[in-house]
Structure 1
Amino acid sequence: MGGRSRNAVALLDRPERKSAGPVPHYRRIKEHIVRHIEAGEWRAGDQVPSESTLVKQLKVSRMTVNRALRELTHEGLLVRVQGTGTFVAERRPLFNLVELRNIAEEIASRGQRHSAKVELLRSEKASADVARELGLAPGATIYHSLLVHFADGMPLQVEDRFVNPATAPGYLEADFTTVTPNEFLMRAAPATEVEHIVEAAMPDARARRLLKMADGEPCLRLRRRTWSGNVIVSAATLLHPGHAFRFATRFSHRADGTSKRQFL
């Protein structure tokens, strides 16, 4: 991999536009590493040159290299393993937490192929807990679906969803390998209100198997309820492997009372 960095010193000496001012060396080192990753020369799991190697190649201090690697690690592009080295991180999709987007669209927007496998799709009687979530009486008939969503063939989400049948006629006949439950429900009963609860959790044996997770690995659990008017349409639990998934949203509030939302 070292042979790919022959022009590293030239990178650091490259003149910048006067209006931008001089760019600190640590930022140029970051750009150098990011350029290799984006070009596909350093792929997920590849070890990047050591601090000592980068110091020699780029003619900068160890402190400068350390800062660049530390910031890229914080930003999720690199993973540093104590006593082993620094590696290119697996791509971790950022999913919009506030917007109610179709997971198939989210995956496609990142240049990956979405597919889904239906593990369960049936009518059943609501338990007391599920009935309470849906605002129905215990024992009421509900629809229950369980799907695994994949990105480029890798399991990314287990979707366990309970649906109020009155809001979704035809739900049990839908082909959820070609249309997601989210997309179906948004057509049948467009959401006017959404509740999200995100927490870290240990998956049960079934979810661990479906997501191909290692023993002891935690997951991110998103609990979502949607309303259409005053009626609760569905209550879903969405499980994601913690090593390959994250949510991030940033808000800023201005003095004039308006707000700006930025997805990280």
Structure 2
Amino acid sequence: MTETRLDAVKLDGSGPVYDQIRRAIRDLVVSGEWPPGTGVPPEHALMEQLGASRMTVHRALVQLAREGLIVRRRRSGTVVATPPASHAMLDILSIPEEVRQLGQTYAFAVLSREDGRPSPEVAERFGLRRSDKVAHLVVLHRADGTPHVLEERVIHAAGVPGLGEEDFGETPPGDWLLRHSQWSQAEHAISAVGAGEEEAGLLDIAVGEPCLLVERRTWSQTEPVTAVRLLYPGSRHRFIGRFGPYGQV
């Protein structure tokens, strides 16, 4: 088990102390500074370091455990939780891994990126407030040189530390988020749509050709992390899931 530096937990002075402690530890986890398996300082050490009561520290750690960010063990102490593995069609998928499983070569290009408050059109499309600060990206993923999926994504800056410094030159946004953020809830929808003119040009298909639209939103507790629209050419893709009486098999 990796040990942590206690002085890494810093309060920001905003709001109740228990929530400052929760946010401080959450940010260390979602930024990757405290990776899965890292030991979280015990309550008495946090109390002494932060000048907080035992009840305040305990409340912060209980909330972090409810969010799935830490695991509390009576004998071995508290550690940063390991995110659940992803598999099957309704999980959080890695597009590079998706392409590699097809035996094809993966490549991607960030076609555009805008940081700041969303435009009215983007706000409406993703259900955002105009006051939200987000990174809005359009990314084209390729498999063996052929357009595989067109991705449009917004990432909430407040919930993802390090977003402003990342240029996504080496890693696509979805995979970067899997490594640098934690999510506790997801909403997922699949629908059939016809390709618009711009989308058809990017995907190298005919205007109006049937596509599979995968829409997903994720939250860390009640705080939004990201929302994404993935447009797959229908003639090149199908999603398969195998289920038993108790779920996926």
TM-score by length of 1: 0.56
Cα distance between partner residues in 1 of 2:224 and 2:125? 8
What's 2:136 paired with?
144
Per-residue displacement from partner, 1:188-232 (whole Å, max 9, x unpaired)?
A: 222222111100001222111110012331111011101122211
Residue 105 of structure 1 corresponds to: 97
Q: 1:261 maps to what in 2?
A: 248
* Aligned twin of 2:181: 189
CA contact (8 A) 1:148 1:155 kept: yes
**Could you tell me how far 1:250 is from its partner in structure 2?**
2.8
Offset at residue 170 of structure 1 (A): 3.1
Q: CA deviation at 1:174?
A: 2.5
Query: Is there any run of 5+ residues in structure 1 with no aligned partner, and where?
Result: 1-94, 254-258
**Deviation above 6 Å: which 4+ runs of structure 1?**
132-135
Tell me what 1:35 maps to.
Answer: none
Partners in 2 of 1:96 and 1:103 — Cα distance? 13
Q: Deviations over 1:162-197 (max 9, x none)?
A: 111012233344243421211211222222221111
1:74-223 correspondence to structure 2 within 5 Å = 96-127=88-119, 131=123, 137-223=129-215
Q: Percent same amino acid at aligned positions?
A: 33
Deviates further, 103-112 or 143-152 = 103-112
Equivalents in 1 of 2:165, 2:145: separation in Å? Answer: 25
Which residue of the partner structure matches residue 230 of structure 1?
222
Cα deviation code 1:23-66 (max 9, x no counterpart): xxxxxxxxxxxxxxxxxxxxxxxxxxxxxxxxxxxxxxxxxxxx
What is the deviation of 1:146? 0.5
Structure 2 residue runs of 5 or longer lacking an equivalent are 1-86
Name the structure 2 match of 1:3. Answer: none
Pick closer, same or farther for the CA change 1:133–1:167 going to 2, 3 Å: farther
Instruction: Confirm or deny: 8 A CA contact 1:115 1:177 kept in the other structure.
Output: no
Work out the number of aligned pairs and report it: 163
| Distance of aligned partners of 1:145 and 1:199 in 2 relative to their CA distance in 1, 3 Å threshold | same
Counterpart of 1:241, as a letter, is: P
Contact 1:131 1:139 in 2 (8 A): no
Residue type of the alignment partner of 1:113:
T
Is residue 162–residue 234 contact of structure 1 (8 Å, CA) maintained in 2? Answer: yes
Structure 1 residues 188 and 163: alpha-carbon distance in aligned structure 2, compared to 1, 3 A threshold: same
TM-score, normalised by the number of residues in structure 2: 0.59
Q: Give the letter aligned to residue 108 of structure 1.
A: R
Q: Could you say which residue in structure 2 is the equivalent of 1:9?
A: none
